[in-house]
Amino acid sequence: MAINRVPVLKRCRSLGLDPTYLGIDKHSRRKSERMGKKMSEYGLQLREKQKAKFIYGVLEKPFRNYYEKASKKKGMVGENLMVMLETRLDNVIFRAGFARTRKEARQIVDHKHVLVNGKCVNIPSYQVKAGDAIEIKEKARSSQRYADIFASTDGRLVPEWLEANHEAFTASVKSLPAREMIDVPVDEMLIVELYSK
């Protein structure tokens, strides 16, 4: 499996991204090297795509597949793409506060700690649907890991399309998110322009 080994803060700096969108509290003291340089239209489009891929932890080929699927659905392609990325199981676990970062959420799913509608799902890219009930397995609940996670994510705002109960280790998808409910700083129209060339 391909792994991006570039340090997270360095990558955030190069993309002009705040690390808090990744669930990371650290901030780099260095300034971005790109100050004052004008970026071409293609450069801007590419940066938005890289930003979306980096935030959601998706590699190029799956990201392109998401775009193809989004373009076949009804409605705006860019909005469809963002909703598909947002409804990945690893992202839902992160949003519900069961993980500090999306990477950790992906690991939790990989380790078979998550049940969706009572069935074990260990695919981070699994698409959740409205009405899905998500919970952490009974066996995993007692581990110190979740106590540490909840200590750091309890103050985090759960999006309005999700409902999370940390005491019961459960979450439910009330509805699919609309674009205005997704708070990631990505201009999806630039991604659509890039792919539609």
Name all domains of the chain by residue range, CATH numbers in brackets.
Answer: 8-31+38-85+184-195 (1.10.1050.10), 89-176 (3.10.290.10)
pTM above 0.75, yes or no: yes
**What is the spatial distance between Cα 87 and Cα 69, in angstroms, rounded to a whole number?**
14
Torsional sign, CA 103, 98, 130, 18:
negative
Residue 64 or residue 27, greater confidence:
64
User: Which residues are CB-contacts of 194 (< 8 A; sequence separation ≥ 6)?
Assistant: 42, 45, 46, 48, 49
Q: pLDDT (tens digit, 9 = 90+) per residue, 62-106?
A: 999 999 999 999 999 999 999 999 999 999 999 999 999 999 999
